[in-house]
Amino acid sequence: MEDVKHPAAITDATFQAEVEQHKGLAVVDFWATWCGPCHMVAPIMDQLAGKYNGRVKIVKVDVDANQATAMRFNVRSIPSILFFKDGRHVDTLVGAYPSQAFEQKIEQHLS
């Protein structure tokens, strides 16, 4: 089994430094503790954080605690997975998907 890393939790206060100033690909999981599908996506994000460790930054934002960032990126449904390349929002997946769907997006934006 591959090494499992846990995506770092970021906040409204750290979002700019962690995501918008990041060079390369960053994947942001917008979630909440009460969201069932979010709990289905969490282990997939853990697995991807391990698989792409050092190549892709994967982080989580709790929408209840960080409403300003969620509103800024128009996150209305969760889970919402936003993809940022060199600090720019380039793609979004809304809902629970199998890991292949997330991997496809990651590979698409890594190339």
At a CB cut-off of 8 Å and minimum separation 6, what does 61 contact?
A: 9, 10, 11, 15, 28, 29, 30, 31, 69, 70
The residue from 19, 35, 56, 78 that is catalytic is 35
- Would you call 72 a catalytic residue per the annotation? no
CA–CA separation, 92 and 90 (whole Å): 7
The residue from 25, 26, 28, 38 that is catalytic is 38
Length of the chain: 111
- Would you call 25 a catalytic residue per the annotation? no
Residue whose C-alpha is closest to residue 97's, from 42, 18, 58: 42
Active centre residues (catalytic): 35, 38
